Amino acid sequence: MKFGKEFAAQMVQEWQEAYMDYNYLKQTLKEVLRFRKLRSTPPPVAVATAHGSLKRRVSLYRAFSGLTGRYRGSPRKSEDEVILVSAVQEAGGDEHYQTLFLNASDEGGEHEHVFFRRLDDEFNKVINFYKNKVEEAVGEADGLSKQMDALIALRIRVDNPVVGGSNIVNLGSHAFSSVSASVVHPPISGRNPEWSRMGVIQEVEMSAEANAEDSNKGTNNENSNSQRKTTGGKQNMEAFRPASLEVLDHVKINVEPETPVSTVKNIISSSKLDLSYSKEELRKAEQLMTQAFVEFYRKLRFLKSYCFLNQLAFSKIMKKYDKITLRNASKAYLNMVDNSYLGSSDEVTKLMERVEATFIKHFSNGNHRKGMKTLRPKPRKERHRITFSVGFFAGCSAALLVALIVLIHARDILNSKGGPRYMESIFPLYSFFGFIVLHMLVFAANIYYWKRYRINYAFIFGFKQGTELGYREVLLLGSGLAVLALGGILSNLDMEMDPRTKSFIAVTELIPLALLTLVLVIIFCPLNILYRSSRFFLIQCAFHCLCAPLYKVTLPDFFLADQFTSQVQALRNLEFYICYYGWGDFTTRNNTCSGSKVFDSFYFVVAIIPYWLRFLQCLRRLFEEKDLGQAYNGLKYFSIIIAVAARTAYDLRMGMTLKIFAAATSGVATIFATYWDIVVDWGLLCRNSRNPWLRDKLVIPNKIVYFVAMVVNVVLRLAWMQTVLGFRQAPFLHRTALTAIVACLEIIRRGIWNFFRLENEHLNNVGKYRAFKSVPLPFHYDGIEEDKRA
């Protein structure tokens, strides 16, 4: 892969504009190359005259622009020297790097001068951004040090409540600050014999020994090693000054997990909780601090990668310049890069080292492997047995599907006497699994293309690294469920038509229920099998959706709720399960559900629930974020609720008035939802974009794909209006089969929406879910104490 593509692939998308614009500089070098090729060809006389006048105009421009006189006093060190790079001190104290091209008077030198001017602009942009981010990281480290103050004091108080305030050392302020670079100091293990009974005593000696380590690094001769034994002890004793547990008197804690009850409490009273010094409180605080350290370390890794990639990019572009111009300018410029803040600062490296040491000491019980596994989780390895199993189950599913089609056609089941009853009673039970399998296959395709185009879906969804499912794992689960469902259908038909088992009709009808029970048992199984972390993550998100708006809305929550809006027919089939087996219809295969008022009422409500949950989620985000766009999004779902209610009423009661109302509301909701999908969720149809009618940033190089997706979305959006447009039946299909086909089209539309929605989130952060998670910290300092610490 070429460096330009690899460089773009390794970028942090949120920082994309802050990276060096490699393609822009490469285009500038192409202009230089193009001019040199033209110069190598002898031009005609007329052209030469014109070129000579152009050369005179360019030379005149350089003379009056001050480019030659500005550095008139700068001596050239050697004849081979091409550029002079200098740092100019700006008014704000920042350094601004400028490059003087010494061969500007050469023919074509104006193009090379433009290149170095643009190169300087890119370098100054990169270095200023990097400085700001490092300052932010140092400030965040200071905030974590204050949190460590409170956490360590809380550990000691919880472990030994009798300990007085004068016997404890203030450690946290030394855990993340240094004299020169304000970086994190590692906690060093140790144990004071006086407090040997306390299980957290190693917290107390961290400050002194950390400062001893920094003082050791500050000296470079052997004599300092002997002096450190005498003078270092005094310095360490000063740093090891006793401090009381007074820090706990100036902090409040908020470690209560977000639940419907806690949400209601926060609405009633927004004050933070006081410390109760309980072990449960300590455990929750440690969990939050662990997450905070992991995310902070992740930011530092991104910063280090940003620094390395930009240094490599400047090296590549300068070597390309030397190759095109046959000059030797890269050495001087890259020396400047190495000596600049970008190449010489080590704050990020030190912060990473200190975070590693602190995390291993305080959150991994000194276990280096365990600590680094948490800070740097390894990506999931692809296993051959997964690929083999996917192929095996996919082949079995295809064979069972062919056998089912042959069996239905050979015995003419649909046109038989019991065919309509089978379609009304048994088909909805098995079509439920068909909808789930189709959705899983579509999601597997989404994951495949997200990975192919380097969309960081695992982070956007909040999966813990190494636990996210790949498309092979999702295909394995989908094909396995397909084998179970198709096997159940074939066994059901075989038992029904075999004279030996025909008398066991009740047992035959229980096969779909047994299959559903098996799936539910697997989903809720507490054992660490079949991707437990992913199953529990799904359960947690589904519970948050059901409890909306009592939980803070995260991207996985509303993304899953959107999936539910495309599975309305599956939810209705689940309702049919309850009715069919709860009322005993399975013993005689009589569908009495459709004539029940209770069933019709729930049939009406079930279709509205997914959209109602999304409406509540929009309201929660509106009140929290004060974003007017969430109000419009909620209005969109409210219009869909009205349309679904009208269509369901028409489906159950008929009537021309209901038909007109359903058609009108469905038309409005379809237009509103289609516009929101394409313009807001996908970010397309931008007039002023550099990609006409698309958006500035795209991951698919073939732009026609976006236009096809927009057309397909519009067509599939119209499919849900089939109930009010008169296409309720087809001559060759039963009504339930037609309903299932329309539901499958909606699932496919949702799959297309999934890809472009996450692509837009990955590129533009449209949902305001940043590239770095904001982890809530457990301790909140009082304003007075914050002022004292400032």
Q: Which residue type sits at 41?
A: T
Backbone phi, psi, residue 329, to 5°: -100, -15
Omega into 420 within 30° of 0, i.e. cis? no
330 contacts 322 by C-beta, under 8 angstroms = yes
Report how far residue 488's alpha carbon sits from residue 429's, in angstroms, rounded to the nearest whole number. 11
Q: Which residues contact 301 (CB under 8 A, 6 or more apart)?
A: 352, 376
The CA dihedral of 300, 304, 309, 311, to the nearest 10 degrees, is: 140
575 contacts 603 by C-beta, under 8 angstroms = yes
| CB atoms inside a 10 Å sphere around CB 280 | 10
Q: Which residue type sits at 532?
A: R
Report how far residue 142's alpha carbon sits from residue 139's, in angstroms, rounded to the nearest whole number. 5
Omega into 549 within 30° of 0, i.e. cis? yes
Which pLDDT value is given to residue 264? 65
Q: Would residue 108 be called left, alpha or beta, if left means φ above 0 and alpha means ψ between -120 and 50 degrees?
A: left
| CB atoms inside a 10 Å sphere around CB 680 | 16
Which DSSP string corresponds to 116-131?
A: HHHHHHHHHHHHHHHH
Alpha-carbon distances, residue 695 vs 659, 679, 680, 704, 761 (angstroms): 39, 10, 11, 13, 13
Q: Which residues contact 565 (CB under 8 A, 6 or more apart)?
A: 610, 611, 614, 640, 750
Q: Which residues contact 426 (CB under 8 A, 6 or more apart)?
A: 492, 509, 512, 589
Q: Which residues contact 161 (CB under 8 A, 6 or more apart)?
A: 277
- Token pair for 466: 């190494």
Which pLDDT value is given to residue 713? 94
Which DSSP string corresponds to 472-510?
A: HHHHHHHHHHHHHHHHHHHHHHHHHH-TTTTT-HHHHHT
560 contacts 541 by C-beta, under 8 angstroms = yes
Give the residue carrying structure tokens 């040199």. 36
- CA-wise closest residue to 275 among 253, 246, 256, 258: 253
Please state the length of the chain: 790
Which pLDDT value is given to residue 726? 52
Q: What is the largest CA-CA distance in the chain?
A: 107
244 contacts 168 by C-beta, under 8 angstroms = yes
- Token pair for 640: 């869909």
- Token pair for 385: 């047995």
Helices 628-653 & 597-625 angle (0-180, nearest 10): 170
Q: Note the helical H segments in 718-734.
A: none
DSSP conformation class of 720: G
DSSP conformation class of 411: H
Report how far residue 447's alpha carbon sits from residue 381's, in angstroms, rounded to the nearest whole number. 16
- Token pair for 254: 């908020």
Low-confidence ranges of the chain (pLDDT < 70): 1, 39-80, 91-93, 107-108, 161-244, 256-274, 497-504, 720-732, 766-774, 782-790
Q: What is the 3-state secondary structure (H, E, C) of 527-569?
A: CCCCCHHHHHHHHHHHHHHHCCCCCCCCHHHHHHHHHHHCCHH
Alpha-carbon distances, residue 327 vs 112, 292, 320, 321, 639 (angstroms): 11, 49, 10, 8, 66
Which pLDDT value is given to residue 215? 43
SS3 455: coil
160 contacts 233 by C-beta, under 8 angstroms = no
359 contacts 347 by C-beta, under 8 angstroms = no
- CA-wise closest residue to 346 among 390, 384, 308, 398: 308
Q: Give CA 419 to chain center in angstroms.
A: 48
Q: Which residues contact 733 (CB under 8 A, 6 or more apart)?
A: 741
Q: How far apart are the first and last CA of the chain?
A: 49
CB-neighbour burial class of residue 11 (10 A; exposed 0-12, middle 13-18, buried 19+): middle
Which pLDDT value is given to residue 441? 97
Give the residue carrying structure tokens 């495309």. 566
203 contacts 362 by C-beta, under 8 angstroms = yes
b/e map 111-130, b = 16+ CB within 10 Å: bbbebbeebbebbbbbbebb
SS3 441: helix
Which pLDDT value is given to residue 163? 54
Report how far residue 774's alpha carbon sits from residue 329's, in angstroms, rounded to the nearest whole number. 44
DSSP conformation class of 655: -
DSSP conformation class of 43: P
Which pLDDT value is given to residue 348? 93
Which long-range CB contacts under 8 A does 38-46 form with residues at least 24 apart? 39/107, 39/108
Q: Which residues contact 409 (CB under 8 A, 6 or more apart)?
A: none
- CA-wise closest residue to 313 among 63, 656, 2, 641: 2
DSSP conformation class of 426: T
707 contacts 660 by C-beta, under 8 angstroms = no
Give the residue carrying structure tokens 């052997």. 222
Q: Which residue type sits at 253?
A: I
